[in-house]
Structure 1
Amino acid sequence: MGLFVMPSLGADMESGTLAEWLVVPGDTVARGDAVAVVETQKGAIEIECFEAGTVQELKAKPGTVLPVGAPMAVIRAEGEAAPELDAVPEPEQELEPQIKPEPAAETAPAPARGTVPAAATAVAGTVKASPAARVRAAELGLDLGTVTGSGPGGAVVLADVEPGGKRDTGAPASRLDEMRKAIAAAMTRSKQTIPHFYLSQTMDVQGALDMLAARNAGVPPSERILLGAVLLRAAALAAQKAATLNGHFTDGAFHPAEQVNPGLAVALRGGGLVAPALADVPAMTLDGTMAAMRDTVARARAGRLKSSELTRGTITVSSLGETGGEVMAGVIFPPQVALIGIGAPQLRPWVHGGEVVPRRVVTVTVAADHRVSGGRQAARFLSEFETLISQPEAL
């Protein structure tokens, strides 16, 4: 018998609001199954189960604000006999005072699995709203079409529909503001606790751009490969050769990762940033990397990420894309130990084939944790990265 608790989805998360359950007592779950939707500053996140078993009890109601580590459900392990009701373990006492339920009608039942209240269904196709906001609006008989959303892209969130809540103040607090506060707090802790050092190198990417131009000629936009996929894959492969940049620093020690799961920094529409991770990029093809990037970015901007995507990252890659600044030095996202910042391609005079010719170049900057690695390891990463993008056909 085990407690399923509110997971930490990053160093910038202290609590989350349970938006809806995707399971009911008696359901059998497998490792990796989504069991709940939780609203955080980053949007609605599907929370996955990390053990197989049977759902014995749901300990939290939708709309409840839960701190990280607070009990959410009881899951009976595979093969374990069902206990008597009075034998179900209670949550740890010190966590109980931290659970702060949002105001809710006591008689309003939680929606059954797979169902959406009628009021929410009527507007589901026309109004952008979080799952929790839809459920609460249905309980109140509120037309979401009359509510001004304060979430990403104007989406209606739970605070917008609560009676006496932010929607009645005339000045709704934006989820973006909360996200910015959380990011600022996490990055401040990172700079205060991690001894950062930086190493940069400018590299020729003209060959990679020429290869992509030939490959994408006559191909629909949805099937084209972007430079970002080449850079992400090169970073993942280079990290295999510089293992001290790929892993986590926890409990006072570095723990190298078995896979390279690069977090992809995604700018959200309307502002804000998330860094969901792609699993085992070195095992993918270049086409597979591009497809995974498209899917991840689309779901990040739609607020449909999974909890594992926010926690499995082993190194983060942040790129300015096709246009923007020439150099970017980032802040490490703990417990990771490195972040790779990639500036936008610049046209520069460059020595190529013994001649000075115009070439597109990028500047790659490694931000690394000096407790784990030094300049030599960062230089090795940059050398491997440069070799890989100079032979893009091998990617």
Structure 2
Amino acid sequence: MTTMTDTSNAARFREFKMPDVGEGLTEAEILKWYVQPGDTVTDGQVVCEVETAKAAVELPIPFDGVVHELRFPEGTTVDVGQVIIAVDVAPGSDSGAEEPAAAPAPEAAAAPEAAAAPEAEAPKGRQPVLVGYGVAESSTKRRARKGAETAPPAAAPAAVQAELNGQGTAALPEARPLAKPPVRKLAKDLGIDLATVTPTGTGGVITREDVHAAATPVAPSAPSTPSTPSVPEPSVEAPAPVQAPAPVPAGTRETRIPVKGVRKAIAQAMVGSAFTAPHVTEFVTVDVTRTMKLVAELKEDKDMAGVRVNPLLLIAKALLVAIKRNPGVNAVWDEANQEIVQKHYVNLGIAAATPRGLIVPNIKDAQDQTLPQLAASLGELVATAREGRTSPAAMAGGTVTITNVGVFGVDTGTPILNPGESAILAVGAIKLQPWVHKGKVKPRQVTTLALSFDHRLIDGELGSRFLADIAAILEQPKRLITWA
């Protein structure tokens, strides 16, 4: 780390601080630097990827220049407001200036005010923000990351490189492999160099499957696709692929893994929820054969064209109708004010397993959405979570949650409440089972539902009626119309 000794040159250097990420988050871990000292950066270019306690996001820098120094190495947790990168915004303007001298470590002393231009001097209407939080409407459009989207997947002719370089002279730096942040994190966890991975995605983008293929030697007799639980129809989209465990050196008896980021936040939230709200869990096994038939019919309905139709869609709709009939479930206990806060809106949370851990983004005002709108919202939520683009705002303000453990082939579970909520529904695997139907034993599609709720404000009667209503709708889905 360096700072300028010649104050006449101080204005040349600008510092970019870890932005205020909001949602009560005060720190972030630097996962990956996309630039190094000496690299040219432009306004809006992504310079690093960081992980907060809720999501992984990319940081765009709000000014042009040449990278002077990186203040923290990868893997460091940095507080909001700390300087993470210094940029020379006027390179070559004073060639006679002295070389920068070494300065104390960032945690020992802050850089003098003269060492960088005030952050207020950034272009008007623009603030450094995390991807996913957005910028002011008057801000410039984010430019493509250097060496990624702007670079061709394969080596380009010299003329093309010169054109992309903008000045037609110096050659482009080596192109960085194209991959989304979650895929980069997966490769880092598995110790895979992305430069050695053969991309199969559109436009030369490396996919998660490409990384797994690079990590595991391909056996001639191995199937080309991973196996899935043998169920007639999964309740929701399949979970993210399981990461292959890192190789363990011979003789190693235990491995210590630092608890931080999303995993740390999950642990704290679950402990706080389990030991604050008195949990009660009730179960019901239900014949969902008619619901599965309706799912098949909706897939052929022209009004549902362009959206994904699956059992989760009808389960979510059944839950929303059941809340309308039992509004007391959609509430929260306010310990500070000793009040029960009744919610007249439903922000429907969907628990999603990702390589970074379990996250629970929610669909805002789900009670107002039509079935096609709800299907589109669910599809977008799942896709965003898988790609690691879920913002902290998307995970805030939930009122009730659905968690689908059935995708793992298990019958049910006893879910822990998402903090700030009073009910969570677990959906088990849908399986063909012998079932008494109209006086005869027949193979029917059956699942088990488990409802956990906060017994401080939801008593046994209310919780039981709510769960029974969901089951009744899934058994006779026409009740989505008659009870709505």
The two structures have a TM-score, normalised by structure 2, of 0.52
Deviation at 1:120, TM superposition (A): 5.3
Q: Which residue of 2 aligns with 1:8?
A: 23
Q: 1:295 to 1:224 in 2, by over 3 A?
A: closer
Deviation at 1:288, TM superposition (A): 2.1
Residue identity in the other structure for 2:358: L
Q: 1:124 to 1:102 in 2, by over 3 A?
A: farther
1:237 has 2:218 as partner: no
Matched residues, percent identical? 27
1:343 has 2:324 as partner: no
> Of the candidates 276, 280, 289, which is equivalent to residue 206 of structure 1?
289
1:194 has 2:277 as partner: yes
RMSD: 4.3
Q: Which residue of 2 aligns with 1:165?
A: none
Query: Structure 1 unaligned runs (5+)?
Result: 20-36, 47-62, 66-96, 127-140, 158-172
SS at match of 1:360: strand
Q: Which residue of 2 aligns with 1:309?
A: 394
Question: Pairwise mapping of residues 311-326 of structure 1 onto structure 2 (< 5 A)?
Answer: 311-322=396-407, 324-326=409-411
In 1: Cα distance, 2:179 partner to 2:298 partner: 45
> Of the candidates 329, 337, 359, which is equivalent to residue 444 of structure 2?
359
Deviation at 1:317, TM superposition (A): 0.7
Does the aligned pair in 1 maintain the 2:53–2:264 contact within 8 Å?
no
Does the aligned pair in 1 maintain the 2:350–2:360 contact within 8 Å?
yes
Does the aligned pair in 1 maintain the 2:323–2:466 contact within 8 Å?
yes
In 2: Cα distance, 1:125 partner to 1:155 partner: 23
1:259 has 2:345 as partner: yes
Does the aligned pair in 2 maintain the 1:322–1:345 contact within 8 Å?
no
> Of the candidates 65, 85, 103, which is equivalent to residue 104 of structure 1?
85
1:152 has 2:185 as partner: no
Does the aligned pair in 2 maintain the 1:347–1:360 contact within 8 Å?
yes
Q: Which residue of 2 aligns with 1:287?
A: 372
In 2: Cα distance, 1:263 partner to 1:273 partner: 12
SS at match of 1:273: strand
Deviations 1:75-120 (A, max 9, x none): xxxxxxxxxxxxxxxxxxxxxx964514321545978732437625
Q: Which residue of 1 aligns with 2:195?
A: none
Residue identity in the other structure for 2:299: N
Deviations 1:117-153 (A, max 9, x none): 7625655786xxxxxxxxxxxxxx986727999x522
Q: 1:17 to 1:322 in 2, by over 3 A?
A: closer
In 2: Cα distance, 1:18 partner to 1:236 partner: 40
Residue identity in the other structure for 1:240: K
Q: 1:118 to 1:224 in 2, by over 3 A?
A: closer
Q: Which residue of 1 aligns with 2:238?
A: none
The two structures have a TM-score, normalised by structure 1, of 0.63
In 2: Cα distance, 1:145 partner to 1:356 partner: 61
Q: Which residue of 2 aligns with 1:388?
A: 473
In 2: Cα distance, 1:64 partner to 1:241 partner: 56
Q: Which residue of 2 aligns with 1:248?
A: 332
SS at match of 1:119: coil
In 1: Cα distance, 2:288 partner to 2:383 partner: 26
Deviation at 1:307, TM superposition (A): 4.3
Deviation at 1:183, TM superposition (A): 0.8
Question: Pairwise mapping of residues 77-156 of structure 1 onto structure 2 (< 5 A)?
Answer: 99-105=80-86, 107=88, 113-116=140-143, 119=146, 145=176, 152-155=182-185
In our comparison, the structure showing a higher alpha carbon Rg is: 2
Does the aligned pair in 2 maintain the 1:263–1:316 contact within 8 Å?
yes
Which structure has more helix as a fraction of its residues? 1
SS at match of 1:348: strand
Does the aligned pair in 1 maintain the 2:51–2:57 contact within 8 Å?
yes
Question: Pairwise mapping of residues 15-26 of structure 1 onto structure 2 (< 5 A)?
Answer: 15-16=27-28
> Of the candidates 7, 24, 43, which is equivalent to residue 55 of structure 2?
43
Residue identity in the other structure for 2:176: G
